[in-house]
Structure 1
Amino acid sequence: MKVKAGVASLTLFLLVTACSGQDGGSASGDTGAKEEEKSKDPYTMVIFTAGVSEKEFNERFRDTLKAKFPHVTIEYITSGKGQTIADLVASKKIPDIIRTDVPSLQKDYLDYKIQYDMSELVKKYKYDTSRFNKVFIDEIVDAGGTAALYGLPVPPYFPQATYYNKDLFDKFGVEYPKDGMTWDEIYELAKKMTRIDGGTLYRGFSANPINSLRDNVLSLPILDPNADGLADSGKWSTLFQNLLRFYQIPNNTIEKTIGDEDKAFSKGNVALMTNQHNIYLVIPPEVNWDLVSYPKFKDGPNLMPQRGPAYWSITNTSKHKDEAFEMIMAMLSDESQLADSKRGIPTTLNNPEIAKVLGQSDPVYSKKNMNAINFYKPANYTPKRKQGQITVQGTAQQNLVGNAMIEVAQGKKDINTALREVDEKLKKELELENAKSK
């Protein structure tokens, strides 16, 4: 994939900055700069997130921030009725730090013109950005569209894995799957495990159709980054065909909806499931599961499909930008990410020592093959539309391909028809978005 000139130039700047900080910066990502003694007068730092509960924030970050910044009061706001980012901007109560992500970066950050380029603070504090997985840094720069660094990647990101029901494999005397298996090998296992026994139907395979297609190893976007419509229908056909064959196995019928198919494995009668490793994905304790690496295409790249992380971003209205950056450094330090990793939260760092302790302190994950998550390196992100170009909201895009897969697997449409309709719907969505902007 070609890298935009802006991305390449900023990446070079960040790498030079990282190298210049090697002598003074610490391995944990703390600043190496000798800054003047800052005022310890008390003040309030406002941190805003959408979708992360205050309980989770407190467990992961509150004590660290309190210890390092005892004079600062942390006001934590999570999005809800009357306190969305739109509400806060309208009332001129804009937070200092915002947890952004790539799909909503434009709508919830850039469109409000509250973005702040952290590049100068990276340089000032000699902060080593090369400690992060390069894929995550490049994605936020590309998404910003101006070669600016609008955030630093905060765990978790969402890698794909293959889950399996150990009790079902034991019941039918079939060998467990292994790390490094191909789609063809998983397909053969699915055929073997799909059966009716004692009047009970056992499915060999299920998948979350959205993240299986959206987070693909080909880094293939849904909406074409350079044209209005579906990107590369030939490659999309390949992805659809790969999944479809599993649902053409007799008795391995897909569920009626995306949500139902996502929950099928948790019922205990499905042998294999491809899905994200996600701390919010809770499999009932009565299902005796484990996991192995996500399947690879026989001739495909040895990479792991993944959904990228969120980012800690600073607003340009903040009166405490330096202090906000210091807090972000603390929340993304080796120490914080080590604790996250032990909880089962995949690190955004390229530190194998932190990655290999994934889940070790969690009562469930500590008994699982969590090395499956680190078996392959993360695949690259999908190319983005150019800055200012009309786009379609990410959730709308993913629902189009997910529902198309459901219809194809149910035999209601063939792949070519389904993909043509996705292309047409994307174009209609773009027309609507274009009309709104005028």
Structure 2
Amino acid sequence: MKMFKPWSRLALVSVMTASLLAACSGNTGTGTGNTESPKGTETPKGTETPKGTESPKPKETVEITIMHYNGAWSEEQTAKVFAEPIMKKYPHIKVKAIGSTGKPLAEELADRVVTGNVPDLIMTTPGVGFETTIRQFKGEYDLTPLIKTFNYDLNQLDPEALKVAQMLSTNKELYSLPIYMSPNTIYYNKAIFDKFGVALPKDGMTWDELYETTKKLTRNENGVQYRGFMLSGFHLMRLNQVSQKMFDSSGEKLAFDTSEYKNYLKDIFRIYDLPGYDMNKVGQGANLNMFLKDQTVAMLEPGGVLLDEKQLSGALGDQWDFTSFPSLKEKPGVGYQPYPFVISMFNTSKHKEEAFQAMAYLTSAEFQAAATKQGSLLPVIKDKSIVATFGQESDFYKGKNVGALLPKQFASVPDEPTSPYRDIAQNELVNIYANVVHGKMEMNQAFREALERADKKIEETKVAKGAK
């Protein structure tokens, strides 16, 4: 099963202006017609059906649609993992999975907005995914009243994952619920470790220990350049383990130029200074191919992706496993900040109560435990003990170190305002990584230029908004 792919920005289309539609709940009442028995057929005394125990009429069947805004998920996967369990739990709710008709998902959704055929529920990342779907088409819907109506317990969710969802609003509305976690782990190729006589990695490594292991594995063998470790630059910068804020209290000024953040990055960037790490010869986004196809990378953090059986078994056979993501020596066991996928309801849904019931079930301990055992997703509930059951019902994960898929503790999500300029900040974080690692720019210069560009873009955005 694949989870993530790099995101693409939607082309700007007409903003959806459909008004909020009232929720439609199923009729659970009993009939009110004439119930008097014909003469001679009266029910004998003592056998009458007690009042209030009459069998209710079956709930009215309604249909809702669910879309996974990630090209790595097929319509069939969305149906199997999410739609079918909802229908089994609630037979009166028919759930149709929506996938791509051959177009990129961005175009698919844009077409649906134009035709008024918008999905009831959509699963996205809490960053660009949410911004270019719910936010761009003004589809926000506050779940708070439905949470109260159905007595939904937010406390069952991982508090840091819930915080990520809460930060999608500036006025304390809750537009989304976290639905599954992105893994924060390292995949490793046993064959490369064996080839160079290096001990297999153990859980609980610090960045210093990973650096020393990487040195032993980074070498040129018969003209083939091997590298010990590669990771996703975006995830490193955005989900950093020191919980660095992106903005100051105004939400309009970048605040990530701090010594703590720079020192954290320097500790990791030194890997790219090892002989053989000429990143100018490595295209951005090439990490996965080097790990699976070329098999010249020993350890990989694939950027929040859960690699599927076809990818791994086809390339590495059984010569792979997980080990925990390295931590800072002063923060043992603390991984990245959580980056869960979220599920949101478009405000145009005609069946809001049923759509929320579906959301509530998909984020319940019952569903999360079952899906974890199947190896379908990583849980967002507070109880992390079920992570150890991941893939129990799949031969593919038998004997694998699945407990390393998530850290013992997530880094805290920083308290900062939800800013309309988050995309600008995130783009500049990636620019810093690329300029330092690929361009070999001095770090302070990379930060300085990034802040200058961001300030300019934010001011241009303000002017453009004011002109409308």
Correspondence for 1:270 among 297, 304, 314: 297
Counterpart in the other structure of 1:57: 78
- Counterpart residue number, 2:421: 391
The 1-side partners of 2:303 and 2:389 are apart by: 18
The answer on 1:370 being equivalent to 2:408 is no
In structure 2, distance between residues paired with 1:188 and 1:275? 20
Aligned to 1:77: 98
Structure of greater Rg: 2
Show CA shifts across 1:190-246 (max 9, x none): 112222334433222222222122221112244556442352342332233122211
Identity %: 29
For 2:458, the equivalent position in structure 1 comes to: 430
Shift in alpha-carbon separation, 1:164–1:68, aligned structure 2, 3 A = closer
**8 Å Cα contact 2:68/2:124 also seen in 1:** yes
SS of the residue 1:56 aligns to = helix
Paired residue secondary structure (2:184): strand
Contact kept, 8 Å, 1:256 with 1:406, in 2: the verdict is no
* Number of the residue aligned with 2:62: 43
Tell me if 1:400 matches 2:425: no
Cα separation, 1, equivalents of 2:443 and 2:161:
32
Question: What is residue 259 of structure 1 aligned with on the other side?
Answer: 285
Deviation at 1:162, TM superposition (A): 2.5
In 2, the alpha carbon distance for the partners of 1:373 and 1:117 equals 32
Structure 1 pair 412–201 and aligned structure 2 pair: CA distance change class (3 A): closer
Residues in 2 aligned to 1:44 and 1:344: alpha-carbon distance in whole angstroms: 24
SS at 1:196 equivalent: strand
**Distance in 2 between the 1:283 and 1:401 partners?**
30
Give the Cα separation in 1 of the matches to 2:109 and 2:306.
Answer: 25
Using the TM superposition, name which of 74-83 and 169-178 deviates more.
Answer: 74-83
Q: For residue 166 of structure 2, give the secondary structure of its aligned residue in structure 1.
A: helix
CA distance in 1, matches of 2:185, 2:142: 34
CA contact (8 A) 2:215 2:274 kept: yes
1:187 aligns with 2:216: no
Unpaired runs of 5+ residues, structure 1, are 1-35
Q: What TM-score, normalized by structure 1, do the two folds share?
A: 0.81
Query: Residues 207 and 261 of structure 1 are in contact (CA less than 8 Å); yes or no, is this contact kept in structure 2?
Result: yes
Distance 1:53 1:404 in 2: 34
Partner Cα separation in structure 2 for residue 68 and residue 88 of structure 1: 28
Task: Quote how far apart the aligned CAs of 1:294 are.
Answer: 0.9
Match of 1:175 in 2: 199
Q: Structure 1 263/223 Cα, relative in aligned 2: closer, same or farther at 3 Å?
A: farther
Q: Give how far 1:56 is off.
A: 1.4
The answer for the alignment partner of 1:160 in structure 2 is 184
* Matches for 1:29-428 after TM superposition, within 5 Å: 40-51=59-70, 52-78=73-99, 80=103, 84-104=108-128, 105-110=130-135, 112-155=137-180, 157-222=181-246, 224=248, 226=250, 227-229=252-254, 231-254=256-279, 255-266=281-292, 267-276=294-303, 278-280=305-307, 282-283=311-312, 285-287=314-316, 288-300=319-331, 302-342=333-373, 343=375, 345-386=377-418, 389-393=419-423, 397-410=425-438, 412-428=440-456
| CA-based RMSD | 2.9
* Alpha-carbon distance, 1:134 to partner: 0.8
Q: Would the alpha carbon gap of residues 390 and 406 (structure 1) be closer, same or farther in structure 2, given more than 3 Å must change?
A: closer
CA displacement, residues 392-430 of structure 1 (integer Å, 9 cap, x when unaligned)? 42xx64443334323323463111111112112222332
For structure 2, the residue ranges without an aligned partner over 5 or more in a row are 1-54
Deviation readout 1:157-182 (Å, 9 max, x if unpaired): 21322232211222222211111111
Report how many aligned residue pairs link the two structures: 398
Distance 1:258 1:38 in 2: 59
Work out whether residues 48 and 78 of structure 1, in 8 Å CA contact, stay in contact via their aligned partners in 2: yes
Q: State the SS of the aligned residue for 2:301.
A: strand
Scaled by the length of structure 2, the TM-score of the pair is: 0.76
Deviations 1:254-280 (A, max 9, x none): 343321245332221222233445225
Counterparts in 2 of 1:193 and 1:96: CA distance versus 1, 3 Å: closer
